[in-house]
Structure 1
Amino acid sequence: MTKRAPWPMVVPAGTKNVGTATIREDFNLAMPTAQRLLYQKTGVPPQSSALDDPTDPFDPSLIRQHPVALAAKKPAKYRNTKCEHQGIKFDSQKERSRWFHLIQQQAAGLISDLRLQVRFLLTPRKQRDDGTWERKETYVADFTYMQDGKLVVEDVKSEATRKNRAYIGKRKRMLAVHDISVKEI
Protein backbone atom coordinates (compact mmCIF):
# COMPACT_ATOMS: atom_id res chain seq x y z
CA MET A 1 0.00 0.00 0.00
CA THR A 2 1.33 3.44 -0.89
CA LYS A 3 1.34 6.48 1.31
CA ARG A 4 -1.48 8.87 0.52
CA ALA A 5 -0.75 12.44 -0.42
CA PRO A 6 -2.02 15.15 1.93
CA TRP A 7 -5.33 16.75 0.98
CA PRO A 8 -5.78 19.04 -0.84
CA MET A 9 -3.22 17.64 -3.19
CA VAL A 10 -0.96 20.30 -4.69
CA VAL A 11 0.49 19.58 -8.11
CA PRO A 12 3.21 21.96 -9.24
CA ALA A 13 2.80 23.54 -12.67
CA GLY A 14 4.48 21.64 -15.49
CA THR A 15 4.08 18.22 -13.84
CA LYS A 16 3.17 15.55 -16.40
CA ASN A 17 2.58 12.52 -14.14
CA VAL A 18 1.49 11.98 -10.54
CA GLY A 19 2.02 8.35 -9.68
CA THR A 20 0.43 6.46 -12.57
CA ALA A 21 -1.98 9.30 -13.46
CA THR A 22 -1.25 11.62 -16.38
CA ILE A 23 -2.00 15.34 -15.96
CA ARG A 24 -3.81 16.85 -18.94
CA GLU A 25 -2.89 20.36 -20.01
CA ASP A 26 -6.42 21.31 -21.14
CA PHE A 27 -8.06 20.31 -17.86
CA ASN A 28 -9.88 23.20 -16.20
CA LEU A 29 -11.42 22.67 -12.76
CA ALA A 30 -13.71 25.68 -13.10
CA MET A 31 -15.42 24.45 -16.28
CA PRO A 32 -17.10 21.01 -16.38
CA THR A 33 -17.69 19.25 -19.67
CA ALA A 34 -21.23 20.55 -20.16
CA GLN A 35 -20.13 24.15 -19.59
CA ARG A 36 -17.12 23.71 -21.84
CA LEU A 37 -19.30 22.34 -24.67
CA LEU A 38 -21.72 25.26 -24.29
CA TYR A 39 -18.81 27.69 -24.32
CA GLN A 40 -17.43 26.11 -27.51
CA LYS A 41 -20.86 26.18 -29.18
CA THR A 42 -22.01 29.68 -28.18
CA GLY A 43 -18.80 31.51 -27.37
CA VAL A 44 -20.38 32.88 -24.19
CA PRO A 45 -18.32 32.12 -21.06
CA PRO A 46 -20.25 30.46 -18.21
CA GLN A 47 -21.46 32.53 -15.27
CA SER A 48 -19.68 32.02 -11.99
CA SER A 49 -21.72 31.26 -8.90
CA ALA A 50 -23.33 34.35 -7.37
CA LEU A 51 -22.42 32.99 -3.96
CA ASP A 52 -18.73 32.84 -4.85
CA ASP A 53 -18.41 36.16 -6.65
CA PRO A 54 -20.10 39.20 -5.05
CA THR A 55 -19.51 41.30 -8.19
CA ASP A 56 -21.47 38.82 -10.36
CA PRO A 57 -24.71 40.51 -11.57
CA PHE A 58 -26.55 37.17 -11.71
CA ASP A 59 -29.61 37.09 -9.39
CA PRO A 60 -29.98 33.58 -7.83
CA SER A 61 -33.73 34.19 -7.28
CA LEU A 62 -34.20 34.03 -11.07
CA ILE A 63 -33.14 30.38 -11.23
CA ARG A 64 -35.88 28.31 -12.84
CA GLN A 65 -36.22 24.76 -11.64
CA HIS A 66 -35.97 21.82 -13.98
CA PRO A 67 -39.40 20.68 -15.33
CA VAL A 68 -39.04 17.33 -13.54
CA ALA A 69 -38.67 19.18 -10.23
CA LEU A 70 -41.83 21.16 -11.00
CA ALA A 71 -43.87 18.06 -11.85
CA ALA A 72 -47.40 17.96 -10.51
CA LYS A 73 -47.98 16.11 -7.29
CA LYS A 74 -49.10 12.51 -7.41
CA PRO A 75 -52.82 12.09 -8.22
CA ALA A 76 -55.22 10.69 -5.65
CA LYS A 77 -55.43 6.91 -5.38
CA TYR A 78 -58.97 6.72 -6.76
CA ARG A 79 -58.58 9.79 -9.04
CA ASN A 80 -60.94 11.91 -6.96
CA THR A 81 -60.61 15.69 -6.87
CA LYS A 82 -60.87 17.28 -3.44
CA CYS A 83 -62.94 20.45 -3.47
CA GLU A 84 -64.44 23.05 -1.17
CA HIS A 85 -67.70 24.98 -1.05
CA GLN A 86 -68.42 27.74 1.50
CA GLY A 87 -65.70 26.44 3.82
CA ILE A 88 -66.90 22.82 3.69
CA LYS A 89 -64.26 20.43 2.34
CA PHE A 90 -65.34 17.44 0.28
CA ASP A 91 -63.28 14.41 -0.73
CA SER A 92 -64.71 14.39 -4.26
CA GLN A 93 -66.83 16.40 -6.64
CA LYS A 94 -69.39 13.60 -6.57
CA GLU A 95 -69.69 14.00 -2.78
CA ARG A 96 -70.15 17.78 -3.14
CA SER A 97 -72.82 17.24 -5.77
CA ARG A 98 -74.67 14.84 -3.45
CA TRP A 99 -74.49 17.46 -0.65
CA PHE A 100 -76.22 20.00 -2.90
CA HIS A 101 -78.90 17.45 -3.77
CA LEU A 102 -79.52 16.62 -0.08
CA ILE A 103 -79.74 20.33 0.81
CA GLN A 104 -82.46 20.72 -1.83
CA GLN A 105 -84.31 17.70 -0.44
CA GLN A 106 -84.14 19.15 3.07
CA ALA A 107 -85.44 22.52 1.82
CA ALA A 108 -88.34 20.70 0.14
CA GLY A 109 -89.13 18.90 3.41
CA LEU A 110 -88.37 15.38 2.14
CA ILE A 111 -85.58 14.84 4.72
CA SER A 112 -84.60 16.46 8.01
CA ASP A 113 -81.61 16.75 10.37
CA LEU A 114 -79.03 16.62 7.58
CA ARG A 115 -75.49 16.21 8.94
CA LEU A 116 -72.09 15.89 7.32
CA GLN A 117 -69.14 13.62 8.34
CA VAL A 118 -70.79 11.86 11.28
CA ARG A 119 -68.57 9.54 13.34
CA PHE A 120 -69.88 6.18 14.63
CA LEU A 121 -68.03 4.06 17.21
CA LEU A 122 -67.65 0.47 16.02
CA THR A 123 -65.35 -0.97 18.71
CA PRO A 124 -64.29 0.86 21.87
CA ARG A 125 -60.70 1.14 23.08
CA LYS A 126 -59.80 -1.90 25.20
CA GLN A 127 -56.79 -3.14 27.12
CA ARG A 128 -55.29 -6.50 26.20
CA ASP A 129 -54.09 -9.10 28.69
CA ASP A 130 -50.45 -8.08 28.14
CA GLY A 131 -51.22 -4.46 29.12
CA THR A 132 -51.13 -2.93 25.65
CA TRP A 133 -54.14 -1.08 24.30
CA GLU A 134 -56.22 -1.90 21.27
CA ARG A 135 -57.33 1.20 19.39
CA LYS A 136 -60.96 2.12 19.02
CA GLU A 137 -62.43 1.75 15.56
CA THR A 138 -64.76 4.33 14.08
CA TYR A 139 -66.71 4.75 10.88
CA VAL A 140 -67.16 8.22 9.41
CA ALA A 141 -70.28 8.50 7.26
CA ASP A 142 -70.42 11.13 4.54
CA PHE A 143 -74.02 12.12 5.30
CA THR A 144 -76.74 11.25 7.79
CA TYR A 145 -80.36 12.43 7.79
CA MET A 146 -83.81 11.45 8.97
CA GLN A 147 -86.30 10.23 6.38
CA ASP A 148 -89.75 8.94 7.34
CA GLY A 149 -88.64 8.71 10.99
CA LYS A 150 -85.64 6.49 10.21
CA LEU A 151 -81.93 7.37 10.33
CA VAL A 152 -80.31 7.08 6.89
CA VAL A 153 -76.52 6.84 6.60
CA GLU A 154 -75.05 7.60 3.16
CA ASP A 155 -71.58 7.15 1.79
CA VAL A 156 -70.53 8.37 -1.65
CA LYS A 157 -68.48 5.61 -3.27
CA SER A 158 -67.11 4.90 -6.71
CA GLU A 159 -67.11 1.38 -8.13
CA ALA A 160 -63.47 0.95 -7.07
CA THR A 161 -63.92 2.19 -3.48
CA ARG A 162 -66.98 -0.02 -2.95
CA LYS A 163 -64.64 -3.02 -3.28
CA ASN A 164 -62.17 -1.74 -0.65
CA ARG A 165 -61.79 -4.44 2.05
CA ALA A 166 -61.48 -1.97 4.92
CA TYR A 167 -64.68 -0.21 3.84
CA ILE A 168 -66.58 -3.49 3.43
CA GLY A 169 -65.54 -4.59 6.93
CA LYS A 170 -66.67 -1.31 8.47
CA ARG A 171 -69.94 -1.40 6.55
CA LYS A 172 -70.62 -4.89 7.95
CA ARG A 173 -69.73 -3.81 11.50
CA MET A 174 -72.11 -0.83 11.17
CA LEU A 175 -74.90 -3.31 10.47
CA ALA A 176 -73.86 -5.63 13.31
CA VAL A 177 -73.21 -2.97 15.99
CA HIS A 178 -75.68 -0.18 15.17
CA ASP A 179 -78.17 -2.10 13.00
CA ILE A 180 -77.72 0.50 10.26
CA SER A 181 -77.38 -0.33 6.57
CA VAL A 182 -75.05 2.10 4.82
CA LYS A 183 -76.60 3.47 1.65
CA GLU A 184 -73.98 3.72 -1.09
CA ILE A 185 -74.39 6.50 -3.64
Structure 2
Amino acid sequence: MERMTLEEFRATQQAPGGPDKDRRRVRGTKRTITPDGITHDSKTEAQRWEELKLLQEAGEICGLRRQVDIGLIGRDGPVMTDSGKQQRVYKADFVYVDNALGITVIEDRKGHETDVFKLKKAILAAQGVEIHITRAKG
Protein backbone atom coordinates (compact mmCIF):
# COMPACT_ATOMS: atom_id res chain seq x y z
CA MET A 1 0.00 0.00 0.00
CA GLU A 2 1.39 3.38 -1.00
CA ARG A 3 1.64 6.01 1.74
CA MET A 4 1.28 9.76 1.35
CA THR A 5 2.17 12.72 3.49
CA LEU A 6 -0.44 14.86 5.22
CA GLU A 7 0.23 17.63 2.69
CA GLU A 8 -0.32 15.24 -0.23
CA PHE A 9 -3.58 14.01 1.31
CA ARG A 10 -4.83 17.56 1.82
CA ALA A 11 -3.92 18.40 -1.78
CA THR A 12 -6.07 15.52 -3.05
CA GLN A 13 -8.97 16.70 -0.89
CA GLN A 14 -8.79 20.23 -2.29
CA ALA A 15 -7.85 19.46 -5.88
CA PRO A 16 -10.37 20.07 -8.67
CA GLY A 17 -12.32 16.86 -9.06
CA GLY A 18 -11.28 15.69 -5.59
CA PRO A 19 -13.66 14.63 -2.83
CA ASP A 20 -14.31 18.22 -1.73
CA LYS A 21 -15.06 19.46 -5.24
CA ASP A 22 -18.77 19.47 -4.51
CA ARG A 23 -19.82 17.29 -1.61
CA ARG A 24 -23.55 17.97 -2.11
CA ARG A 25 -23.74 16.36 -5.57
CA VAL A 26 -26.12 13.44 -5.60
CA ARG A 27 -26.58 10.97 -8.45
CA GLY A 28 -25.41 13.12 -11.33
CA THR A 29 -27.22 16.33 -10.44
CA LYS A 30 -25.83 19.45 -12.06
CA ARG A 31 -25.79 22.95 -10.66
CA THR A 32 -28.24 25.19 -12.51
CA ILE A 33 -28.53 28.97 -12.61
CA THR A 34 -32.01 30.48 -12.86
CA PRO A 35 -32.75 33.66 -14.84
CA ASP A 36 -32.50 35.71 -11.62
CA GLY A 37 -28.86 34.60 -11.30
CA ILE A 38 -29.33 32.19 -8.38
CA THR A 39 -27.35 28.96 -8.45
CA HIS A 40 -29.28 25.83 -7.44
CA ASP A 41 -27.98 22.35 -6.61
CA SER A 42 -30.02 20.71 -9.39
CA LYS A 43 -32.17 21.43 -12.42
CA THR A 44 -35.33 20.27 -10.62
CA GLU A 45 -34.57 22.51 -7.64
CA ALA A 46 -34.16 25.46 -10.01
CA GLN A 47 -37.48 24.60 -11.70
CA ARG A 48 -39.25 24.44 -8.33
CA TRP A 49 -37.77 27.84 -7.37
CA GLU A 50 -39.29 29.34 -10.51
CA GLU A 51 -42.67 27.70 -9.72
CA LEU A 52 -42.61 29.02 -6.15
CA LYS A 53 -41.75 32.54 -7.34
CA LEU A 54 -44.84 32.45 -9.57
CA LEU A 55 -46.98 31.24 -6.65
CA GLN A 56 -45.64 34.11 -4.55
CA GLU A 57 -46.40 36.63 -7.31
CA ALA A 58 -49.96 35.22 -7.49
CA GLY A 59 -50.35 35.68 -3.74
CA GLU A 60 -50.73 31.98 -2.95
CA ILE A 61 -47.56 31.92 -0.84
CA CYS A 62 -45.42 34.57 0.85
CA GLY A 63 -42.07 34.91 2.61
CA LEU A 64 -40.28 32.64 0.13
CA ARG A 65 -36.71 31.83 1.22
CA ARG A 66 -34.19 29.25 0.05
CA GLN A 67 -31.35 27.31 1.69
CA VAL A 68 -32.65 27.90 5.22
CA ASP A 69 -30.71 26.32 8.10
CA ILE A 70 -32.78 24.51 10.74
CA GLY A 71 -30.90 23.35 13.82
CA LEU A 72 -31.12 19.68 14.77
CA ILE A 73 -32.06 19.00 18.39
CA GLY A 74 -31.92 15.63 20.10
CA ARG A 75 -33.28 14.38 23.42
CA ASP A 76 -30.37 15.92 25.33
CA GLY A 77 -30.10 19.20 23.41
CA PRO A 78 -28.52 20.35 20.15
CA VAL A 79 -27.00 17.67 17.92
CA MET A 80 -23.40 18.80 17.63
CA THR A 81 -20.75 18.23 14.94
CA ASP A 82 -17.96 15.78 15.70
CA SER A 83 -15.78 18.62 16.99
CA GLY A 84 -18.56 19.65 19.38
CA LYS A 85 -18.17 23.29 18.34
CA GLN A 86 -21.19 23.70 16.06
CA GLN A 87 -24.77 22.52 15.98
CA ARG A 88 -25.64 20.25 13.06
CA VAL A 89 -28.28 21.67 10.73
CA TYR A 90 -30.68 20.57 8.05
CA LYS A 91 -30.60 22.97 5.10
CA ALA A 92 -34.12 23.29 3.67
CA ASP A 93 -34.34 23.94 -0.05
CA PHE A 94 -37.31 26.27 0.44
CA VAL A 95 -39.32 27.78 3.29
CA TYR A 96 -42.49 29.80 2.74
CA VAL A 97 -45.95 30.49 4.15
CA ASP A 98 -48.92 28.84 2.43
CA ASN A 99 -51.48 31.67 2.55
CA ALA A 100 -54.52 29.38 2.11
CA LEU A 101 -53.52 27.15 5.03
CA GLY A 102 -51.78 29.82 7.09
CA ILE A 103 -48.81 27.56 7.83
CA THR A 104 -45.08 27.67 7.25
CA VAL A 105 -43.95 25.02 4.77
CA ILE A 106 -40.47 23.51 4.83
CA GLU A 107 -39.89 21.98 1.41
CA ASP A 108 -37.17 19.83 -0.06
CA ARG A 109 -36.95 19.01 -3.75
CA LYS A 110 -35.75 15.42 -4.05
CA GLY A 111 -34.95 13.03 -6.82
CA HIS A 112 -33.41 10.55 -4.38
CA GLU A 113 -33.47 10.44 -0.58
CA THR A 114 -29.98 9.85 0.81
CA ASP A 115 -29.33 8.13 4.12
CA VAL A 116 -28.18 11.44 5.61
CA PHE A 117 -31.42 13.11 4.51
CA LYS A 118 -33.49 10.29 6.01
CA LEU A 119 -31.66 10.65 9.32
CA LYS A 120 -32.10 14.43 9.44
CA LYS A 121 -35.76 14.07 8.45
CA ALA A 122 -36.28 11.64 11.35
CA ILE A 123 -34.57 13.99 13.83
CA LEU A 124 -36.73 16.88 12.63
CA ALA A 125 -39.87 14.73 12.90
CA ALA A 126 -38.97 14.05 16.54
CA GLN A 127 -38.74 17.85 16.96
CA GLY A 128 -42.24 18.19 15.49
CA VAL A 129 -40.96 19.59 12.17
CA GLU A 130 -42.38 18.07 8.99
CA ILE A 131 -40.57 18.31 5.67
CA HIS A 132 -42.73 18.53 2.55
CA ILE A 133 -40.92 16.60 -0.20
CA THR A 134 -41.63 17.46 -3.81
CA ARG A 135 -40.44 15.46 -6.77
CA ALA A 136 -40.07 16.44 -10.40
CA LYS A 137 -42.91 15.28 -12.60
CA GLY A 138 -42.06 13.02 -15.48
TM over 0.5: yes
Cα gap change, 1:145/1:77 in structure 2, threshold over 3 Å: closer, same or farther?
closer
In 1, the alpha carbon distance for the partners of 2:26 and 2:61 equals 33
In 2, the alpha carbon distance for the partners of 1:118 and 1:154 equals 10
Instruction: Point out 4+ residue stretches in structure 1 off by more than 3 angstroms.
Output: none
Counterpart residue type for residue 84 of structure 2: W
Question: Does 2:93 match 1:138?
Answer: no
Shift in Å, 1:133: 2.8
Q: Indicate the residue corresponding to 1:150 in structure 2.
A: 103
Superposed counterparts of 1:46-61, under 5 Å? none
Q: Indicate the residue corresponding to 1:113 in structure 2.
A: 63
Cα gap change, 1:80/1:125 in structure 2, threshold over 3 Å: closer, same or farther?
closer
* Bigger Cα Rg: 1
Q: What is the aligned-residue RMSD (CA, Å)?
A: 2.3
Q: Indicate the residue corresponding to 1:23 in structure 2.
A: none
Give me the TM-score of the superposition, normalised by structure 2.
0.67
In 1, the alpha carbon distance for the partners of 2:38 and 2:131 equals 22
Check the 8 A contact 1:105/1:111 in 2, yes or no.
yes
Identity, % of aligned pairs?
Answer: 29
Secondary structure of 1:141's aligned partner:
strand
Structure of higher RCO (CA pairs closer than 8 Å, 6+ residues apart): 2
Deviations 1:159-178 (A, max 9, x none): xx21x11100101111212x
Shift in Å, 1:87: 2.8
Give me the TM-score of the superposition, normalised by structure 1.
0.51
Q: Indicate the residue corresponding to 1:103 in structure 2.
A: 53
Shift in Å, 1:91: 0.4
In 2, the alpha carbon distance for the partners of 1:77 and 1:169 equals 16
The runs of 5 or more residues in structure 1 that have no matched partner are: 1-72, 127-131
Number of aligned residue pairs: 104
Secondary structure of 2:60's aligned partner:
coil
Question: Does 2:30 match 1:81?
Answer: yes
Check the 8 A contact 1:94/1:156 in 2, yes or no.
yes
Shift in Å, 1:125: 6.3
In 1, the alpha carbon distance for the partners of 2:86 and 2:26 equals 25
Shift in Å, 1:103: 0.6
In 1, the alpha carbon distance for the partners of 2:58 and 2:109 equals 22
